[in-house]
Structures are given as structure tokens and as C-alpha cells.
Amino acid sequence: METGELSSRTCTSCGAELVCGPETAATTCPYCGNPTVLGGQLSGKLKPEYIIPFRMDKKTAIENLKKYYKGKAFLPKAFKESNHIEEIQGVYVPFWLYDGRMEARGAYKAEISESHREGDYIVTTTRHFDVARVGDADFVRVPVDGSSKMPDTHMDAIEPFDYSDLKPFSTAYLPGFLADRYDEDDKKCAARVLTRMKNSTAAALHDTLGGYTGVQTLSEQLDPRTLEPHYALLPVWMLHTRWREQDFLFAMNGQTGRLIGDLPVDKGRVAAWFAGISIPLMILTALIMLL
């Protein structure tokens, strides 16, 4: 399939711009559930560098979702209805994958305390050390989603992706699925990835400080030396549910099946459950009092 055969579809509610092939019937937006998705000509070209194809088909995704819902007695029926669950959609979500290097320097005060008994006394000896750490940390394919519609917490929760499946982008992987177009560029997403890289680098520094009974950080300097973004599409199964004027988004890693979703509690079902328990208890109590 050539790029020219692709079309764009825009959600009139949240503004998501979805790209799909001619055989993809997108009638609802996977982000907000809006049924009005307008078709149009593709403006510009979809040019990701890479794509990870879906490993999990729709049937398996539905089975995983049903397992996730199983046992949740207070989940509203609207979430469990088969005709709704089958509305789950496969979406290629835009991601920026960053390769980079962090330079790290740290200065610390450390101590080792040892205690031993001398007669009736416990003697503690403490040795103090000036400790320095210098090093580089290399990162490969640190992911940050490039869609403002997709909650970052959802995408972080369904990581990691298996990058051994990463392929050069080809429209041959798109039939039957939607592909979101990024609306947050690599410069805007860089702040998030730098935070992740700095936190990981700081943790790596601290891991080298084992063996001391106490460590005090005097200074730490974490500087990015290189940062190279790559635009990629990663597979996610998505299902939007609107219940009592609230939106709930479910997301599943299209490779591993790892999933995340905010689920409400039906207060009416909770009340009915407690009522079902309290009435027999009241009868039992009354019978006991009559004995």
C-alpha cells in the first residue's frame, strides 16, 4: 500500500487526526469515543522511521480484557457488555524513541560504623570518607508518546515494548488498524525523556555507593551530552467507555498484553450487595434473640 492510498480522519470532539487505509472502517474515536469521525484527504505524509507491528490480534485482546474484568463484581455492566468490548480498536500510537548519553558527576560524604563490646561497654567506631563518582550513561530507545490525547500514565504503565520487533516503517503494517499522528514534537517531549534519563543516571550513581552505613549527597551534576530522537509507531489496543458523564480509557500493549485502565465502581451494585447481606444477617439476629 502506498502512502497516497492513506486517508486521514479527524475527530470532531477531541481533534485526534487518525491515519488509516481504505479498508479500515473507523466510526468512533479510540480516544474519546465520539461517533463522528470525518474523512478527508491525507495532508502531508506519514513519515515515521520505525514501526512495531501488532503481535496480538483482536480476538486475543478481547480475551485479555474479559479476564481483566472478571471478578470485578462492582464494575458497571456497561463495561462488560460483549458488544461494547468488541469495539476495542488497534491503534498505532506515535512515540519518540530517544538515544542519548548523560554525563554524571557526584560528590558524597560517606561513613562506615562498626560496633564491638569492651567489657560492659559497646564501643562504636565510625570512619568517614570523601567519595566522588564520575561516569557516562548511555541510553537507547527511551520511549515518550507524542500524542496529547493519550494519558502519559497509561503509556508508561504498558511499557516495556519489545524493540527486537522494531521494523523500518512500511504502510504494509497499517491495514486493519488506525495510526495516530503526533501533535507533540520531539522538542516538546524532550523534557520528559531527560527527566527519565536523569533519574535513571542518578539511581545508577547511587547503586555504586553500596557498602557504606551512611551516605550524604553533597552535589550531583547530570548533563545530557547527546539526544537523538526517532519517530516510531507502537501498537496499542484501546477501548473508550463513557459512563455517567465520565470518560474511561483502557489501553493494552499490542505485543505483550500488558494493560492499564481506570475502572469505576457502580455504587448501586455495591448498595444492592450490602442489602443482600444485611437482610439475612438481620433475620439471623432476630432468630438468635428468640432462642
Give the rounded distance of the alpha carbon of 233 from its chain centre. 15
The predicted structure's pLDDT at residue 13: 79
The predicted structure's pLDDT at residue 7: 66
Burial tier of 237 (Cβ tally within 10 Å: 0-12, 13-18, 19+): buried
Q: Which three cell numbers stand for residue 245?
A: 458523564
- Separate counts of helices (H) and strands (E) for the chain: 6, 11
Q: Which is nearest to 265 in space by CA: 72, 22, 121?
A: 72
The predicted structure's pLDDT at residue 274: 44
Q: Is 56 helix (H, G, I), strand (E, B) or coil?
A: coil
Residue 49 DSSP symbol:
S
- Mean pLDDT, consecutive 10-residue stretches, the chain (291 aa), reads 62 76 62 64 64 95 88 71 81 95 96 92 94 96 92 91 94 85 92 95 94 94 96 93 78 94 57 47 53 54
Q: Are 257 and 63 in contact (CB under 8 A)?
A: no
For CA atoms 179, 80, 259, 242, give the dihedral sign.
Answer: positive
Whether this model's pTM surpasses 0.85: no
Q: What is the pLDDT of residues 222-279, one digit of tens each?
A: 999 999 999 999 999 998 887 777 788 889 999 999 998 877 654 454 444 444 444 5
Residue boundaries of the structural domains of the chain: 3-290
